[in-house]
Amino acid sequence: KIANKCRKKFITIQSEESCRFVEELLIALPTIVCDLQTHQVHTFYEAVASMISAETDPSRREVLLESLMSLPNAAWKAIMTRAAQDINVLYDSRGTKEIIKIVRTNARVCTAIGPNAFNSQMGYIFQDILNVYAAYSRRIAQCVEQNGEIAVKSSEVRSLRNAKREMLRLLDAFVKHAASDDGSRRLVATHFVPNMLEIILPDYELTIPTAREAEVLNLLATSILKLQQTITSNVPAILKAVFECTLQMI
């Protein structure tokens, strides 16, 4: 609440200070977050992102964002590096828990930092997000094939589905906050939507009904609402993938 009400103060050098308060926070970031619980970490990142949103210079704001996301990005890169050697890193409970934590951090920052300000960070993790989403979908399908539909209730599949939902919520937040004008709508529709739909639509259509994620429909609705005419050419494919199979679930 303080970060929202006083955010301009935090990005301005005050009398008798050598640097801005937000920069002091970012320098002390590792020390601060190491003593926080997970939910407190998310709240902290959201608060700092809200401060950064008051920065009107896009290049300076991007530098601050990069500094803010340095720890989550380092953790993310470490997981992706290990997963490249052994995909099972993504599936064990610790790996899934860490993925969820990092994705939630990104979602909180994306929501708080303001229109079009998260593009560079999303560009950094976007393809990895889709790759992990696809890997989790394959793992869920494998579990169902081996153990039947009851596998959906297993702790492993529930954890994987939770991670998928968090990724969908991050994508939804990104589309919602990035598509604020014609230029940004075209950017999202051109550079993000095609790859996103390529992964998400077939997965939704082919997944058993009990393992489908309602967040997919939320993301698609947000995309159509926010991207407007820039996504018109994708609408037939969207309807083909989700309409009939969703109707059968009613």
pLDDT in tens, the chain (250 residues): 555 555 555 555 555 655 667 888 888 889 989 888 999 999 999 999 998 888 888 899 999 999 999 999 999 999 999 999 999 999 999 999 999 999 999 999 999 998 889 999 999 999 999 999 999 999 999 999 999 999 999 999 999 999 999 999 999 999 999 877 888 999 999 999 999 999 999 999 999 999 999 999 999 999 999 998 999 999 999 999 999 899 888 7
Neighbouring CB atoms inside 10 A of 121's CB total 21
Distance between CA atoms of 42 and 224, rounded to whole angstroms?
Answer: 29
As a whole number of angstroms, the distance between CA 135 and CA 129 comes to 10
Separation between Cα atoms, residue 134 and residue 140, nearest integer Å? 10
Q: What is the pLDDT of residue 210?
A: 92
Which CATH fold topology does 113-247 show?
Leucine-rich Repeat Variant (1.25.10)
Contacts of 66 (CB under 8 A, 6+ apart): 120, 121
Tell which residue, 120, 245, 222, has the closest CA to residue 169. Answer: 222
What tokens does 51 get?
Answer: 């401060």
Q: Name the one residue in this structure whose structure tokens are 């050419």.
A: 233
Question: E strands of 69-182, at which residues?
Answer: none
Give, in order, the Cα–Cα distances in Å from 24 to each of 21, 36, 95, 121, 176. Answer: 5, 18, 31, 21, 30
- The single-letter code of the amino acid at 182 is D
What per-residue confidence (pLDDT) applies to 111? 94
Q: Which of 134, 133, 223 is nearest to 174 (CA)?
A: 223
Instruction: Work out the number of other CB atoms within 10 angstroms of the CB of residue 196.
Output: 22
